[in-house]
Amino acid sequence: MGSNELTDPQSLKISLLCRGISVSPAAEAALTGDGTTPMSVHEYPTTGGLTLVLEDDTYVNAPFDEPIKQAPEATLLFAQQEQPPFRVLFSRQEFPARVLPLPGFLSARDSRGRPVTEAVFSHADRARLSPIGGCHNNCDFCDSPLRNYELRPAEQLVEALSIAAMDTALPVHHVVISGGTARQSDYGYFGEVCQSILRNARMPVDVMMSAQLGTDLIDQLCSWGAYGFSINMELYDEEVARRIAPQKRGSGLQEFRASVERAVQNTGGSGRVRSLLLVGLEPEEQTLKGVEFLAELGCDPVLSPFRPAPGTPLASQPGPSYELLESVYLRSLDIVDRYGVKLGPRCIPCMHNTLNFPDRSGAYYYSRDLRCWS
């Protein structure tokens, strides 16, 4: 396959990301137990769809009832007698698919009676821990500021992770500490909670953090055993960033550059430092400049198609087109090749809501196979 060609499963994934999927009545009945359980939990804008596994280890989170679902070209079918029973009808072809279940702890409570999902949620093979509810920043594309800002205690997060780690419905193999950005007065709290999680986790832990939290915290997190970092830029275009994410940009790209460089220096790079770019909120050429900016730092760019979230200032903003996603993906491949990095994330299941696909280079992996972690 040439660099300017997409396989059929890749074309299907791009269509699902930007146009969503229709669910046949038979498939809906099979997924919900005839209406007794939900098909999905809309706890985050880019994870509210069905997570499908297509051919060639192609993971995709396909929205089925969100605003971005505009005239979907794909339909999820179900036939009990088929193997596998789920198939996706797309472009007059049927593609075998596996539908990942929801985590098994949706109704569970911890030892103090708190809902487990208040602190942790699982997607594909990763558990996401959220030390902070809500967010100090106010980005127009994100629904986190719609929630109350609160600090969750370390013991709650550690116990929630222990429950998620025992889940057999959707087994987890690694962790990301994520959630909202802390107020400056809470930076110390955030570091202490991360330290506690890192000391108690029995699997690799990545930390998603704002560059505003500083390089000293990155040094500390590495000394405590952080496996990797996601320091998300979201937007490269200065004018767009300052208009729709003014607090996140902070003092500009220099602060961001310093944090990414420190993270790469501490981890050695090789996919352990990545940064997300939202595709569809700035001109294509600006997104590609962002890809090059990150790649030059030894950081894996992550292409995340924008999904409008209800209740946000950009709720009515259209999502990116198929043509834009295809173009950004193919052009980004040439950029990362020049700098010796990859499009992230490198964990194959974690690609479910990003514009990325595994290849045969050996750089992509399943987190359960990380041999560097004991």
Q: CATH no. for residue 161?
A: 3.20.20.70
Is residue 127 domain-shared with residue 95, that is, in the same domain? no
Could you tell me if residue 301 is inside a domain? yes
Three-state secondary structure call for residue 310: coil
User: What DSSP designation does 21 have?
Assistant: E
User: What pLDDT, in 10s, does the model give residues 119-131?
Assistant: 999 999 999 999 9
Could you tell me if residue 105 is inside a domain? no
Q: CA angle 346-233-117, nearest 5°? A: 65
Q: Which tokens sit at 48? A: 């509210």
Is residue 65 domain-shared with residue 125, that is, in the same domain? no
Taking 50 as the threshold, does the pLDDT of residue 374 lie above it?
no
- All residues at 6 or more sequence positions from 301 whose CB lies less than 8 Å from its CB, including other chains: 274, 275, 277, 290, 291, 294, 295, 332, 336, 341, 343, 344
Pairing of strands 300-305, 273-279: parallel
Q: Which tokens sit at 259? A: 């944090």
Is residue 50 domain-shared with residue 139, that is, in the same domain? no
DSSP 229-246: EE---B---HHHHHHH-H
User: What pLDDT, in 10s, does the model give residues 87-112?
Assistant: 999 999 999 999 999 999 999 999 99
Is residue 312 domain-shared with residue 345, that is, in the same domain? yes
Structural Rg of the chain based on CA atoms? 20
- All residues at 6 or more sequence positions from 59 whose CB lies less than 8 Å from its CB, including other chains: 51, 52, 53, 124, 348, 349, 350, 351, 352
Q: Which of 71, 99, 127 is the last residue of a domain?
A: 99
Q: Which tokens sit at 315? A: 């709720």
The pLDDT value given to residue 373: 42
User: pLDDT band for position 251 (50/70/90)?
Assistant: low
Is residue 288 domain-shared with residue 352, that is, in the same domain? yes
Could you tell me if residue 338 is inside a domain? yes
Residue where the block lists tokens 């550059």: 257
Residue where the block lists tokens 């998620």: 164
The domain in which residue 89 lies consists of 8-99
The pLDDT value given to residue 66: 78
Is residue 79 domain-shared with residue 215, that is, in the same domain? no
Quick one: CA dihedral 167, 210, 218, 155, positive or negative?
Answer: negative
Q: Which of 73, 99, 125 is the last residue of a domain?
A: 99
> Of 227, 193, 232, which is closest to residue 211 (Cα–Cα)?
232
Is residue 120 domain-shared with residue 24, that is, in the same domain? no
User: What DSSP designation does 237 have?
Assistant: -
Cβ neighbours around 85 below 10 Å, total: 17
Q: Which tokens sit at 220? A: 């500390």
The pLDDT value given to residue 4: 66
Taking 50 as the threshold, does the pLDDT of residue 232 lie above it?
yes
The pLDDT value given to residue 1: 37
Is residue 91 domain-shared with residue 125, that is, in the same domain? no
Contact 31, 99 (CB under 8 A): yes
Is residue 294 domain-shared with residue 363, that is, in the same domain? yes
Is residue 292 domain-shared with residue 170, that is, in the same domain? yes
Is residue 76 domain-shared with residue 147, that is, in the same domain? no
Could you tell me if residue 194 is inside a domain? yes
User: What DSSP designation does 348 have?
Assistant: S
Is residue 29 domain-shared with residue 124, that is, in the same domain? no
**Length of the chain, in residues:** 374
User: What DSSP designation does 212 have?
Assistant: G
Could you tell me if residue 3 is inside a domain? no
The answer to whether the pTM exceeds 0.75 is yes
